[in-house]
Amino acid sequence: MTGADQPPVASVSDLILRYGKVTALDRVTLDIPAGMMVGLIGPDGVGKSSLLSLLAGARVIQDGGVHVLGGDMRDAGHRSRVCPRIAYMPQGLGKNLYPTLSVEENLEFFGRLFGHDKAERDRRILDLLTATGMSPFRDRPAAKLSGGMKQKLGLCCALIHDPDLLILDEPTTGVDPLSRRQFWDLIDSIRATRPDMSVITATAYMEEAARFDWLVAMNAGKVLATGTTAELLARTGAADLDRAFIALLPAADRGDDQEVVIPPRDATDGEIAIEAEHLTQRFGDFTAVNDVSFRIAKGEIFGFLGSNGCGKTTTMKMLTGLLEPTEGIARLFGHEVDARDLAVRRRVGFMSQAFSLYSELTVRQNLELHARLFALEEAKIPARVAEMAERFDLGDVADALPEALPLGIRQRLSLAVALIHGPEILILDEPTSGVDPVARNGFWRILADLSRKDGVTIFVSTHFMNEAEWCDRISLMHAGEVLISDTAEAIKASKGCETLEDAFVAYLQEAIDKTAPPPAPAPEAANQAAPAAAPAPPHPQRRFSLRRLLSYSRLESLQLQRDPIRLAMALVGSLLLMVVIGLGINMDVEDLTFAVLDRDQTTASRDYVADIAGSRYFTERPALQGYDDMDARMRAGEISLAIEIPAGFAADVARGRTVEIGAWFDGANPTQSGTVQGYIQGMHGDWITRKMREALGSAALAGDFELVTRYRYNPDVKSIVAMVPAVLPMLLLMIPAILTTLSVAREKELGSIINFYVTPVTRLEFLLGKQLPYMALAMVNFVLMMVMAVFVFRVPFTGSFIGFSMSALVFVTASTALGFLVSVFISSQVAALFATTLLTMIPAVSYSGLIDPVSSLEGFGRTIGEVYPATWFITAARGAFSKSFGFVELIQPTLAMAASVPIILGLSVSFLKKQER
């Protein structure tokens, strides 16, 4: 190895990292040698990932120093210079991939980010896909890849730019042994062609770590020890790394760790607990489980191995009756499993992968709830809960919330919950993923007890080989089929292998060779393929690159196309809302129902009523019979207006005596009733004028002056004409802003934002790239809404369409940018949605001249109104629709909006962090 005489590839000194009160890294000082394969070992939550993200420059350095590739990672200039030389693959299967994009689209995205042109991209993608054996899957969406393939794709994406430093965070967690082995072979072959490349890897698998060049053992934010595997083993005097790691732990954390010893099983009792006969499960044309058969005796510990998505969980579901098999029979204790038979579930305890406890219930409440759901007698529940708490050592934490507990204790709680009803069969789906070795050993001692003392049949799936060896028998699953089912010794013997892992790899290889012609050239081929990639010259980092910008635009449009709900919102959301508002919110009151109580029944009284009935505002209903009738019909909402004409009306009018007509109207809805009041007073006045004119001639009514009212721009005073130019800006503001906020918040929530942190893309490229597709969509919406307004709602458009479209374009630029400004402060999608709605709509409704002109506002509101782009677009919209604004008149509001765009974008860029906090 070349590492010894080279300066370290990375070094950290007194590094401290805190998340709130939790200290993730506690004064870590470390030099990582270059040109080597360095492993970070330790259980979950000890600070491995934090350290790696700091090395990759993805996270802000709080305290202490980090030097990578010869420079200070606090210096943004150095970070941007070295980021094309570093590749970072974060933890989690496919965390930095885009699940809806295909293998090839993912790779192209990364290629573009690193500035490769089409020819170079194609060449590199071809090389990488060939080397990893992924070529047959290039069109498959990343979400549909198996765990191993996702990690290979992640690696391809990381390697596309020939990095000098490769940082891998638990790349093989949740991946089957063969894929794991292939993954490391791939890394080896790449290192063979690029000997200077340094690799830093975190892993939870000690078997894997044993083959690395140099190890860093970490616990509780501190480095326990460093050195080669041999050095660590020698120092602790342990036989393997697992035990060496436990020996390195401080005494307090080591607890009373003992070797796990599973007593031999008394196999005389031949009762079969679980039996699967030709189980098959198909989802559509996809066969998840194919013809699986096995028998498990009572009290046996039966292990299940296989990669994520190979059908383990589906098989388990069929055994518990959760899922009805497409073909085949599952039997528990000789009885066929019936999905509808809840009694079966009482005999089975199930502990799923995700520690699926109610995080909002305390430990005790979780236990009690499950006891009740399994219909334990109410009187016996407290005793049973106490018994379980005692047995699983949960007494001290009974009133704590699970989230506050360490993983190891949560796992014991999950097991206690699964056992609360005393099941005869226990099904455990990867119960120990991510748990530290001490807790894992303790867990297995409990399992041994359950099996040997209580005779519980245990069916467990795992990725750990040492756990597999503790099982009485093991099954290996691959692509829905059981490859082998036997004892660990027999499996090893059948392939003549030293270790269980080697035997499994042999079986998996055999299965793959059988089903398909070898899809990938073996590592030898990779050796030949990789050098082709090597000579590519490093690309100079450009300040602004259109290609990087457009690569984000492409990414965004592809993702949007494949998300039906967001696409619906983006494409037709505003149109839908516009139709709803246009049809639903109508201030014009027409066809109001009224009825008359005519106690006079003369020509004069009928003449009075005819005036009302004849108007388009009112519709007459059958006459009223009296006050009770009026009350009842009004209460039922049948009429909104009742008119009473008193007896002797005609006679009194004729004699000039004062008469009073009574009118009652429904005042519940004040908007409506105000209008009704106006109409009825107006008609009453008209009737009187007409009568007086008939009697006295027109001279009698001349007033002091005449008020000539001109309803300008909307002479018929139709609400739709006023509404559309106001609604259009609202919708073009709210929906595009929501979509852009979501697009950033989504990346933050799902983790793919890491690609922005560690690739050369600049903040402006990132934002503009994301903005373009949403601007295009907003303009499509604009056109649709215009068509709707003009041709369906028949709102007259009097101004310049070209000018107005130009205004709209500037406005959607501003509104999409506003979304970014909100997004930089928010990291959850739901919060983004509500915050954007409120933050864009409140100023738009109150301060943008929608109800009152900005000129009549004062103070803060006025200032906001004058700079807010919505103000100017409302002016432009009203002008273009109703006030015959030509191109020239539209220039001024458009320029006012345009002025805000660089400000909003500039603020967004300056607040957007290119590192995680």
CA distance 291 to 59: 48
Give the residue from 584, 596, 663, 588 showing the smallest Cα distance to 624. 596
Give the residue from 764, 744, 750, 757 showing the smallest Cα distance to 60. 757
Q: What minimum distance in Å lies between the beta carbon of 604 and other proteins? A: 10
Residue number with CB closer to other proteins (294 or 793): 793
Q: What minimum distance in Å lies between the beta carbon of 615 and other proteins? A: 15
Residue number with CB closer to other proteins (383 or 717): 717
Q: What minimum distance in Å lies between the beta carbon of 730 and other proteins? A: 12
Q: What minimum distance in Å lies between the beta carbon of 124 and other proteins? A: 34
Supply 867's token pair: 């700079």
CA distance 296 to 334: 11
Residue number with CB closer to other proteins (765 or 889): 889
CA distance 664 to 412: 72
CA distance 286 to 147: 17
Residue 440 near residue 429, CB atoms below 8 Å: no
- Three-point CA angle 792, 796, 797, nearest 5°: 105
Residue number with CB closer to other proteins (256 or 706): 706
What is the identity of the amino acid at 286? F
Q: What minimum distance in Å lies between the beta carbon of 143 and other proteins? A: 13
3-class DSSP state of 221: coil
Q: What minimum distance in Å lies between the beta carbon of 122 and other proteins? A: 35
Residue number with CB closer to other proteins (266 or 399): 399
DSSP string, 453-516: HH--EEEEE-S-HHHHHHSSEEEEEETTEEEEEE-HHHHHHHHT-SSHHHHHHHHHHHHHHHHS
Residue number with CB closer to other proteins (437 or 725): 725
Q: What minimum distance in Å lies between the beta carbon of 534 and other proteins? A: 42
Q: What minimum distance in Å lies between the beta carbon of 696 and other proteins? A: 11
- Dihedral of the CA atoms 242, 245, 246, 250 (nearest 10)? -170
CA distance 60 to 916: 6
Q: What minimum distance in Å lies between the beta carbon of 44 and other proteins? A: 17
Q: What minimum distance in Å lies between the beta carbon of 847 and other proteins? A: 13
Region of residue 709 (phi > 0: left; psi between -120 and 50: alpha; otherwise: beta): beta
Give the residue from 295, 305, 293, 342 showing the smallest Cα distance to 320. 342
Q: What minimum distance in Å lies between the beta carbon of 683 and other proteins? A: 9
Residue number with CB closer to other proteins (372 or 453): 372
Residue number with CB closer to other proteins (135 or 352): 352
Residue number with CB closer to other proteins (364 or 914): 364
Q: What minimum distance in Å lies between the beta carbon of 848 and other proteins? A: 10
CA distance 750 to 827: 10
Residue number with CB closer to other proteins (5 or 399): 399
Q: What minimum distance in Å lies between the beta carbon of 589 and other proteins? A: 6
Residue number with CB closer to other proteins (61 or 369): 369
CA distance 754 to 58: 7
DSSP string, 752-787: TTHHHHHSS--HHHHHHHHHHHHHHHHHHHHHHHHH
Residue number with CB closer to other proteins (583 or 647): 583
Q: What minimum distance in Å lies between the beta carbon of 572 and other proteins? A: 9
CA distance 554 to 770: 9
Residue 35 near residue 164, CB atoms below 8 Å: no
What burial letters (b/e) apply to 208-243, b meaning 16+ CB within 10 Å?
bbbebebbbbbbbbbbbbbeebeebbeebebeebbb
Residue number with CB closer to other proteins (615 or 719): 719
Supply 564's token pair: 């039906």
Residue number with CB closer to other proteins (551 or 559): 559
CA distance 146 to 538: 33
CA distance 631 to 673: 17
3-class DSSP state of 219: strand
